[in-house]
Amino acid sequence: MMQKGKFGKYGGVFVPELLIPAIEELEQAYYECINNKEFLEEYNEYLREFAGRPTGLYYAANLSEQLGCKIYLKREDMLHTGAHKINNTIGQGLLAKYMGKTKLIAETGAGQHGIATAVIGAKLGLDVKIYMGSKDVERQKLNVFRMELSGAEVVPVDIGSKTLKDSINEAFRDWVANLDTTHYLIGTTMGPHPYPSMVKFFQSVIGTEAREQILEIEGKLPDTVIACVGGGSNSMGIFSGFVDDEDVELIGVEAGGVSVETDENGATLTKGRDGILHGSLSIVLQDEEGQIQDTSSVSAGLDYPGVGPEHAYLKTSGRAKYVPITNDEALDAFQLLCQTEGIIPALESSHAVAYAVKYAKMPENKGKTIIVNLSGRGDKDMFTVAKELGVEI
Ligand SMILES: *Cc1c(COP(=O)(O)O)cnc(C)c1O
């Protein structure tokens, strides 16, 4: 059996002593809640009525015909605020209320997790403070405005590389200073225990639904499940539905940046080494001295130098495979899905689509049934895509 909060040797709790009581309080409340029928009913009601679940498992007929495989898309792009992140913010928002907290803090890179946190804060009557690197604040003005419209305070972080990893450090600092009133709502399957398990639990609805849906439509399990990996929450969510079915191949797709060969940055699981980042032991992008490296993907949501510890375990145990996709490959897949299916995917999700296309074209995979997790929609990426394609809008 695995030790609590450990995935093989990965995971654990690596935080300053001051945070231990808060982590323990959270852990206890989390286990109480997931064993509490009323809590789960309320969570499921919010998923249904506020977020818009269940999401469809959509047969992409045109793409399938073109590729000679059966491609199904799990439509997380149809959710409120445009991505899977709302599944987790609903769960942790309700948990914060259960603990009697009045404030949520969160980190955000591109702003998607910030928005999903801001809306649930508004809905549940909790104050929200979002830490965001000052570079990201500048790059993502529209998302900052969205958060502010829902009543959140956005705090620009002006230290370090002024991006996501520095905002996470600032959020931890705020949490230490305000433990009594505040819940730190982490947006992906990273951080100290119980976060990786908790975020996976709140995202496992994706895998539970997808498994039931494919069994109903096809009468059998898929051959392959493909999802993009940033911190790892949408992929853990869908993988969790199939991880015990050993014949189902699980593939995580990372951002390879401009070029997988020459780019120092990106593709954490492909190029990283064991290291401690943001409270747990996992695989981390770092230089020879152990300095954390910056990442540089077109998709801001995949721009994180770490990855959740359970992915490090799934990789080293061989249960899941991880592959990189470059910016250009993701942009091609983005356009392909727009043109064949009339669906505009998020750039993050386009990485998963891009690998599905590559995979389907391999002779040994002909005719396979593949589920691709479409983690979000591409509305937020219009300016980025236009710029990359040299189009003025
Ligand atoms: C944030 C985000 C991701 C990456 O985060 P994970 O925790 O790895 O899922 C992927 N897709 C979309 C649409 C996102 O917003």
- Provide the angle, in degrees to the nearest 10, between the axes of the packed helices 112-124 and 85-98: 40
Q: Do residues 228 and 373 touch, judged by C-beta distance below 8 A?
A: yes
pLDDT band at 42 (very low <50, low <70, confident <90, very high): very high
Q: Which of 74, 87, 228 to mutate to test the pocket of ligand 1 (most atoms within 8 A of CB)?
A: 228
346 CB near ligand 1 (under 6 Å): yes
Active site residue 37: no
Which is it for strands 320-325 and 249-255: parallel, antiparallel or unpaired?
parallel
Out of 85, 200, 368, 380, which one is annotated catalytic? Answer: 85
Q: With a 6 A CB cut-off, is 87 part of the ligand 1 pocket?
A: no
Integer Cα distance of 211 and 307 in angstroms: 25
Q: Which of 233, 240, 349, 375 is catalytic?
A: 375
Q: How confident is the model at residue 36 (pLDDT cuts 50, 70, 90)?
A: very high
Q: What is the pLDDT of residues 46-102, one digit of tens each?
A: 999 999 999 999 999 999 999 999 999 999 999 999 999 999 999 999 999 999 999
| Residue 282 · residue 10 · CB < 8 Å | yes
Q: Cβ(77) to ligand 1 under 6 A?
A: no
Q: What is the distance in A from the centroid of ligand 1 to the CA of 336?
A: 20
In whole numbers, what is the pLDDT of the chain averaged over residues? 94
Mark whether 85 is an active-site residue. yes
State the virtual CA torsion across 253, 255, 257, 258 in degrees, nearest 10.
30
Ligand 1: nearest atom to the Cα of 188? 7
By most ligand atoms within 8 Å of CB, the mutation choice from 80, 302, 374 for ligand 1 is 302
The alpha carbon of 18 and the centre of ligand 1 are apart by a number of angstroms equal to 30
Distance from the alpha carbon of residue 349 to the mean position of ligand 1, in angstroms: 8
CB of residue 299 inside a 6 A radius of ligand 1: no
d(CA 246, CA 317): 13
- Share of residues in the chain with pLDDT > 70 (%): 97
Where does the pLDDT of residue 302 fall: very low under 50, low under 70, confident under 90, or very high at 90 and above?
confident
Query: Does ligand 1 have an atom closer than 6 angstroms to the CB of 376?
Result: yes
Which of the following is catalytic: 27, 76, 107, 341? 107
Question: Could you tell me if the CB of 228 is within 6 A of ligand 1?
Answer: yes
Question: In this predicted model, what pLDDT tens digit does every residue of 248-274 receive, in sequence order?
Answer: 999 999 999 887 665 555 689 988 999
β partners of residue 11: 6, 281
Tally Cβ neighbours within 10 Å of residue 278. Answer: 24
- pLDDT in the model for residue 175: 96
Separation of CA 302 and ligand 1 centre (Å): 6
Task: For residue 379, give the nearest of 325, 338, 351 by alpha carbon.
Answer: 338
Cα torsion through 370, 374, 375, 376, rounded to 10: 180
Tens-digit pLDDT profile for residues 340-379: 999 999 999 999 999 999 999 999 999 999 999 999 999 9
Residue 301 near ligand 1, beta carbon < 6 Å: yes
Percent of the chain past pLDDT 90, that is, above it, reads 86
Is the Cβ atom of 233 under 6 angstroms away from ligand 1?
Answer: yes
**82 burial class (0-12, 13-18, 19+ CB within 10 angstroms)?**
buried
Q: At 173, list the tokens.
A: 């600092």
Strand 153-157, strand 6-7: pairing = unpaired
The secondary structure element, H or E, covering residue 324 is: strand 320-325
Beta carbons within 10 angstroms of residue 362's beta carbon: 10
Alpha-carbon torsion, ordered 331, 336, 341, 344, to 10 deg: 10
3-state DSSP assignment of residue 318: coil
Specify the DSSP element, H or E, that contains 10. Answer: strand 10-11
CA 83 – ligand 1 centroid, Å: 8
Residue 1: what pLDDT? 39
Largest pairwise CA distance in the chain: 58
Residue 218 catalytic? no
Q: Would the CB of 143 count as within 6 Å of ligand 1?
A: no
Q: What is the pTM of this model?
A: 0.96
Q: Does the C-beta of 108 come closer than 6 Å to ligand 1? A: no
Atom of ligand 1 nearest to the CA of 346: 13
Number of Cα atoms under 13 Å in the Cβ half of residue 360 = 25
State whether the Cα torsion 16-17-20-21 is positive or negative. negative
Tokens of 61: 């007929």
The number of CA neighbours under 13 Å toward the Cβ of 282 is 31
